[in-house]
Structure formats: C-alpha cells, structure tokens
A and B are shown apart, each in its own frame.
Chain A
Amino acid sequence: MVRTGCPSHNCGGRCLLRVWVRDGAITRIDTDDRPTDDPSAPQLRACIRGRSYRARQNHKDRLRYPMKRVGRRGEAKFARVSWDEALDRVASEIRRVRETYGNAAVHIPYGTGSYNQTNGRWPANRLMNLAGGSLGFYNSYSWACISAATPTVYGTAVTGNQRQDWLNARTILMWGWNPCEMRDGTNSEYFVRLARERGARVIGIDPRMTLSAVALADEWIPIRPGTDAAMMSAMAYVMITEGLIDRGFIRTHCLGFDETQMPAGAEGEESYRDYILGTRDGVPKTPAWAERITAVPAATIARVAREYASAKPGILYQGYGMQRRAYGEQPVRAGCVLAAITGNVGIPGGWASGIALQTAGGAARWSAFPLGENPVKAEIPSFLWTEAVLRGRDMGPASGVRGADRLGTDIKLLWAVASNLLINQHANVNRSARILADETLVETVIVQDNFMTPTARFADLVLPACTQFETWGLADGWKYGEELLLMPKIVDPPFEARSDYAICAGIARRLGLEEAFTEGRDERGWIAWVIEEYRKTGYPGVPALDDFEASNRGLYGLPVKDPAVAFADFRRDPAAHPLPTPSGKIEIFSKTLFDLGRPDEIPAVPKYIREWESPFGPEAERYPLQAVGPHTLARVHSTLEGVAMLEEAFPHRLFINPRDAEPRGIGDGAMVKVWNDRGAILVRARLTERIMPGVVAVPQGTWWTPGPDGVDRRGNINVLSSERWTPYAFGNAQHTIMVQAAPAARR
C-alpha cells in the first residue's frame, strides 16, 4: 500500500489516496487514514472521483503506442509509428514552424488533464522556452473574470482567509458556490458544516438546489443565471437606504462609494451610490427592480441584505460559475463591494470575497517545476486561441494580447499536452472542429494524452502519455491546502506510454537541448529538486524526498491553529498597510476601468448588465431556456469520462424542471434533443424540482461524439456554448447560452 496524492487533475480538491498494487496493477484505492481528524489538519478524504481512478488507470482504452494521422484531420484514422519516428516528426515540425513563421506560431494551450510538476504541459513549456519560446497565454477557463476583476477592487487576488476562520462566521452566503460537488478545496464543505454547527446561518443562492444547498444551506434561494449582480445591487440598495452599511469603514478604507470620495480625474462621475440609488440613470436598483430580473422575490432580497449586513461577521462566498458568463466581471466586483460596504473585510469570520487566494503560507503554487523564461513575450488570453489561429497576425491589445502590439503570426502548431481543450472544453465545438479540420490554418496538431479524447481525434500525431500513478509528482494544494502531497511512481506505464517529461526530453535531444532540458535529472530527480524549492518557501520542515518516500506518509502538512485573515493589517491601519491598488484603498470605483472608456461593458462601478444571450432578449423566442454546464462529481472537466462507477452514480442527464419538461412532452428518462444555432446534442432528461423553471443544466465535460447528422450523442454542452469572450477579462462566457429542448425523434 502506497500513500499518494490524488491525481485530482483540476477538480479543486487535493486529497490523499492509499493505493494497493498487486502484480504491477492497482487493485484498490482508499483514502486518508490518519488517526486524527482535527479541524486544524483534517483528513483529506477523497471523493468518488478520486476513488474511481483504478478504473481509469486500468482502462482498456488507454493509448498504447504513438500514432500518426492517415486520414483527413478529425477523421480519427491513425497508424502506429515508432517513438523514434514520432519524436523525429515533432522535432522537425517545431523546427519547420519556427523557421517559417517564428516561435510565436507555436502554442501550448491551456489544459489541466495533468498539471503537476513534471507531468502535464509544464515540461513542454520548459522545452519550448529553451527552443526559442512559444506563444504564451494568461488567464484560465476556470477563473478568467474572477482573477482579473478581484484585483480591480483589492489590487490582489490574495483575498481569502484560511478556512478554519470560517468557524467564526455568523452568516455564510454560498453564492453560486457548490463545494460538495466541485470541492473547491478538500474539506471546504466540511468547514461550512462546522461553521453551521457553531451557529452560522447558511444561505445558498443558485439556480440549482445543489448537493451543497441540500447538505449545508438553511435556505436555498434560486436565482436566474447571469443576474447575480442585479441581486447584489438591490442588496446594496437595501443596505444604503436602511443605514446598514459600515460608514466608518467605507470612509477610511474605500474609494468611490459616493461623491465625497471619488478619485482624482473622476470627481463628477457616477459613484457606486449614484448607480444604486439611480441618481444618474433614473433607475433605483430596488429589490422590486431586481425581482423582475433575478426572479428572486423582492422581500427575500431585502431580507438577505439585512441578514448579511447585520448578522456579522459574514461570508459572501462567490462561486466561479457565475463569472464564466457574459459580464462575469460584474458579479465578482459587486460581491467584493458588498463585503466592503458591510465592513466584512479584514476581520475574523468575515470575507473579502473575490477569488480569495490564500494569504500567508496557504497559497498554492500548483507547480514549482522550473519553466525558464519564454523568449516570446506575447501572450494571449487562454480563451482566445481560436482567434489567434484565425487572425493572430493582426491581434493586439484590443484582443487581449499582452507583451506585444501585434502577434505577427497566426498559430500554426498546437501542442496539446494533457489537454482536451481544443475540441471538447472550448466553446462552440462545431466551430473548433471546423477550424482544426482546415489543415491550412493550424498546420500541425500534436496531442499527448492518456486516451483518444475528442481533441486527440484531431491530432496529426498522438503521443501516449502516462498517468500520475506512473511517474513522480508533488502537489501543494489547489486554492486551499496546507499540505504537500507526494505522488510517487507506483506502477509502470502500460505498453509504450511514456511520461510527459520523458517525451519532452526525447524531443529536446532531437533539438540539441537535452542537457539544458534535463540538467541530468529524471522525473524523480526533479521532484527532489522541487521539494527543496518548497523547503525554501512555505514548507521549511518538509523532509527530503528519500525520507518523504520512505515514510510512506504521502503528505507533509502545516496544521492551521491560528487561521490567517486577509487584509487584517490593512484593516488595522490602512495608511501603513495600503492595498496594492492605485489608491491604496478598496476601489469600489475603479479609475483604471473608468479610463478604459467603455462604460457600457466595463463600468467603473459594478453594475448589472443584461447578457448578450438572455431570457430578456429576442433570442428567447426561439431559445427560451437558459442552459448552464455545472461541474459534476462524475468527472473532473473531461477527465474520468468512461468510468463505469461514475456514470452509474451520476449518469449524464439534462436536468430540467417538470414545468419546462411537461409542456414539451419530455418525460423523465426520455432522450431529449437540446439545440441552438451553434449545434445540437442528445441527452436523457432527468425531471427535477431542484432546478428553477426556465433553466436547464447539462453537466460539462462529456466527450463530444457526433453522429452522422452532426448531433452530439454524448451531450457535450460546449456544442451549444459561445466563443464570445467577456469584455474586460477576455474570459470564457460558456454558461451564457440560450437553448431549446424537445423529445428526440425516435430512430
């Protein structure tokens, strides 16, 4: 039995597994068995996903050999080749594209099928950085808006108290936040439970009555997707008009709340108070105004506002689903502002909202494997890679490009490592498939993965990579986590599969970079190196690799007895500890955003903006249902597809309210076609009262499996989602979609 960190990919948790091996194969997986389970260092109990890895590991569909494409791209016709032939070809393609178009024509896209030190895309990044660089990206598909918008308020993304501090809260608003399913830190759901036992009242605000709403919430408030900023604004209206705001804190710590504290150069502009009271636009953001938008009763909005502003300290925890939407920046900023005007910032039991990366030692680095420096300075927003394929040469800052005025070239070589992004996880699958199928656009597609994913089907070269159980790794938490989890190599890769690191080392050799790339280390050698890195930063007492491995503890933890509170110094003395914002204060009004001069889409104070696809526009006539693609316990994004135990526990379904299903003749369990202008999917219906009328949910991540008619048989919601990006973060807005649904025609 070996203790190891769960491969966990990108689920939000980081758990401990105990893995039994017999005859070179994993035979059983259990979880943390430490004898103590104290809240300062609770057991890292794996969820059903972590417990299902045996089936994925031993799956018959694992990629076995390198393969090259023999049909048209996307036809998924492949022929086996030797590793030598495959790696020669990768090296020569990198050389050719580099020489023809420049290094910026090579792109290693976002992907989290594995992203652990020497596993996943990091070695490819390291190699390309040594080989002249490649077009980089910033931002992610998870956190685009929240990671960009939080600093517009606080100047930093480190806004989170450590979770043990949640036990001091009296009110917790789980706003679009569902820790039971997406976990968002192993034990986050458990800490909310503990807080509730200590007397906190918990309210879940979500269009779905999620697992978290059932297990953690005293009250569930369904809200129409994409309207969170409207409810937040109406809450501010109640707080302002009823005198529930923390005037002292606003005066000393905030900027732009009202006309008395506008930043220089924006003195006469619309303050937050102006917007809320409607002094400029003539629309007071009353609860009644918000009821029409959000479908939440005005009285409920007012009650929640009073509760959050009065029963302090309180936490307004923002989930990430609501920021993967058309104007996803707004609910992030609006939530932060509510935390600020109620004075919940910088105090125990409070919560500044925003992305809430961890303060003081708890922050995860995700990977410490050294990537070197990228000689190509240009970066694109991760979500805009198809734009860079189609019109990269002319893309500049207006399209989110950083580090260059123009890219100067289109993307010509895509090297997807542990990434099913290109087809499956990017928006508008049919569009992505058309783009990739055109061999004159991207000339070379290399995919390195464990399975023949929908992305791999569009590859020119498929390289079989090993799983986390087959190489060395180390994880340091996700968003939360006070542990280092060691992931020893437990079993050998099957057939000819190789580690991502070994594959990259082979390419490096062919590019004459082997020594620079490996520095004489193998995977284990790098993990030993990485541990020393962590020893220098947050984990001074971590044992060296040999001892760590020999102990078979699997983890090295830093128990949290005295949880850190973000902005405590700032709270105490804002002059001595200013925020890293331009003003040093909490920027309710952001002069930076104001200066962008796009108030309709990027207002300087957080506003509700009607989405470009919504129940209120003309599009609702043809497509009256809002569709959301929540995370499910059955997968981690598109990882773990095809594991029987998960599909048995959480079968893929369209979740639809009977009020929407019955008039359409959709029965429970019936096969349903869901479509919009971008495409159509087939998926079985689950009639449930646990979703609000007018909204349907199709959990994201199933593998695109189009039939001859182009209709996806496996219900991938990205067939329906849009490639349009958000105005400020250039982030994905994949949940902003309207659809229609009807019983599928019998065949």
Chain B
Amino acid sequence: MAEELGFLVDSASCSGCKACQAACKDKHDLGPGILWRRVYEVCGGGWRREGEAWVPDVAAYNLSLACNHCENPLCRDACPSGAIRKLEDGLVLIDEDKCLGCRYCEWACPYGAPQYDPVSRVMTKCRFCLDELDQGLPPVCVRACPMRALDFGPVEELRRRPGGTADVHPLPPSSVTKPAVVIKPHGQADRAKAAAALVANREEV
C-alpha cells in the first residue's frame, strides 16, 4: 500500500494571512463561501488592570485546515450515496457525480472539510491538488505560505518530525477520525485550552 499523504501545519508560525486559502480558491475557482482550506483564529483569555497598566492574558493562534484525509473518514461512512472514497494513497475524495448534496457529511466531519457548493449543488472539498502532485509539485496551499508554515508528505514521516500532534485545542480528539494531519502547536495552545479559547472568526470560516 502506498504511503498515506498528509498536511503539516506549523501553527506556531501561521499568521492567519490566508494566502493558502486564497491560493486554493483561485486554483479551484471556488465561489463565495466555499473554503476548501480555512484558517481558524483561536483566541481566549482577557485583561487585567494593574496600577495604571493594562496587562493582557490573551492567547491567540491560527489553525489552517483543509481536509485531513482521515484514516477513519466518518464522512465516507455517513455518505448515503457512496460518493466518498478513500484511495490507496490515503486521500479521501468526493465523487461529485454521485453526490446527492444532502450535506450529511458536513455533520460527520468534525473539521469542516466538506463544503457545499450552491452552484453545482453538491459537496466539494480538498483534493490535495492531485493534479499538482502528478507534476511533482506540492499542493498550491503549501507553495503559497509566505511563512513557509505549511508542508505535506507521507503522514508517517511528518509524524516523526519533532513537536507534531493532531490534538490541538479546540479540535476534536484525533481518536475520532484519525486525521492525517500533523500540527505543530503554537506556544500559547496550552494556555488557550486552559482559558477555553474559542474560534474568534466564525463568520470567516
């Protein structure tokens, strides 16, 4: 079996500039509201007055997520029409010709990967830029990052790099779907969890 591919997201260095999101949207001609890659701004904490000073206890960081091409793709299990498959190389793909547009996979995916296209009226999502891979190129989002915070590769290899995990607040436990994603958490991730930080840019994702 071919090695399963995954993304690496260096959340510590992600600024939230959304170049990845834009690169993806432009390449795939995605209309308004369709975000195969999305950048979640996590923010929590607050402020205290100390003397004349304002002292922040604010934790904030970004999580850029596409589809995690999970080992256990619950979207596939949920799909009534059998439109979602997991390929040999681990990629989870939607066959848009089979999709009913029932949007059930939206609920089955905890990461928001499947995105409904109101024009074609079917579900769409990240295809890992298979056409780019075939030409020996990385996915466009990876190539786009001005901070060089995105990478991709065989997920087992990514997992061997230091400091990676797939359990970062406020993502669901990775045991649920076994996502093929490796995230280097931001230095404030633990504080954010303790402060019950939330996704602050809901309207943007």
Contact = CB atoms under 8 A, between A and B. Distances in A.
Are A and B in contact, CB atoms below 8 Å, in the complex? yes
Interface of A: 28-31, 33, 37, 45-48, 51-52, 54, 180-181, 186-187, 189-190, 193, 209, 211-212, 214-216, 218, 220, 222, 291-292, 295-298, 300, 633, 644-645, 648-651, 657-659, 669, 688-690, 692-694
B148 A190 contact: yes
Contacts of A31: 23, 143-144
A669 B202 CA distance: 10
Contacts of A48: 17-19, 21-22
Given A30-B26, A45-B19, A190-B146, 5 more contacts: A45-B145, A48-B18, A296-B53, A297-B55, A669-B203
16 contacts: A30-B27, A37-B148, A47-B17, A51-B22, A51-B23, A52-B22, A215-B62, A297-B55, A649-B18, A649-B22, A649-B204, A651-B203, A689-B45, A689-B56, A689-B60, A690-B60
In order of increasing CB-CB distance, the 8 nearest A-B pairs are A215-B15, A180-B15, A211-B15, A297-B53, A51-B22, A48-B22, A292-B52, A689-B58
A593 B61 CA distance: 44
B162 to A, nearest CB: 13
B56 A222 contact: yes
B140 to A, nearest CB: 6
Interface in B30-61: 32-33, 43-47, 50-56, 58, 60-61
B174 interface: no
Given A31-B143, A37-B148, A295-B52, A644 B32 contact: yes
A645 B55 contact: no
A220 B203 CA distance: 26
Contacts of A30: 23, 26-27, 140, 143
Contact of B54 (A51, A54, A645, A693): A693
Given A297-B50, A297-B51, A690 B43 contact: yes
A650 B41 CA distance: 12
A30 B26 CA distance: 8
Most chain A CB neighbours (cut-off 10 Å) among B13, B16, B17, B33: B17
A638 B100 CA distance: 42
Contacts of A189: 15, 146-147
B127 interface: no
Contacts of B140: 30
Among A218, A298, A689, the one with the most B-chain Cβ atoms within 10 Å of its Cβ is A689
B198 to A, nearest CB: 10
Contacts of A209: 56, 58, 60
A295 B62 CA distance: 27
Contacts of A692: 47, 54, 56
Contacts of B187: 218
Nearest to B24: A51
Tell which of A29, A48, A291, A297 has the most Cβ of chain B within 10 Å. A48
A613 to B, nearest CB: 20
B58 A29 contact: no
B56 A220 contact: yes
A297 B54 CA distance: 7
B12 to A, nearest CB: 8
Contacts of B14: 215
B17 A688 contact: no
Nearest to A32: B143
A51 B144 contact: yes
A181 B18 CA distance: 11
Contacts of A659: 47
Given A46-B19, A212-B15, A215-B13, A291 B51 contact: yes
B25 interface: yes
Contacts of A29: 26
B62 to A, nearest CB: 7
B46 A689 contact: yes
B144 to A, nearest CB: 6
B203 A291 contact: no
A215 B16 contact: yes
Nearest to A221: B56
Contacts of B25: 645
B196 interface: no
B54 A222 contact: yes
B147 A689 contact: no
Contact of B16 (A214, A645, A651, A657): A214
B130 interface: no
Contacts of B143: 30-31, 33, 45
B176 interface: no
A45, A187, A296, A649: which has the most chain B beta carbons within 10 Å?
A: A649
Contacts of A688: 43, 200
B147 A649 contact: no
Nearest to B31: A644
Contact of A689 (B33, B47, B50, B149): B47
A51 B148 CA distance: 17
Contact of B17 (A28, A633, A651): A633
Most A C-beta atoms less than 10 A away, residue of B13, B46, B149: B13
Contacts of A37: 148
B14, B25, B54, B61, most chain A CB atoms within 10 A: B54
A729 to B, nearest CB: 30
A88 B55 CA distance: 63
B141 to A, nearest CB: 11
A442 to B, nearest CB: 39
B40 to A, nearest CB: 13
Contacts of B26: 28-30, 51-52, 54, 645
Nearest to A212: B15
A186 B19 CA distance: 13
Interface in B138-162: 140, 143-149
B18 A633 contact: yes
A54 B29 CA distance: 11
Contacts of A212: 15
Contacts of A645: 22, 25-26, 32
Contact of B47 (A218, A300, A693): A693
Nearest to A183: B146
Contacts of A295: 52-54
Contacts of A222: 54, 56
B126 to A, nearest CB: 17
A659 to B, nearest CB: 6
B25 to A, nearest CB: 6
Given A215-B16, A649-B204, A689-B56, A28 B45 contact: no
B147 A214 contact: no
A301 B204 CA distance: 36
B47 A657 contact: yes
A122 B187 CA distance: 48
B59 to A, nearest CB: 9
B146 A45 contact: yes
Nearest to B39: A649
A204 to B, nearest CB: 11
Contacts of A669: 203
Contacts of A658: 46
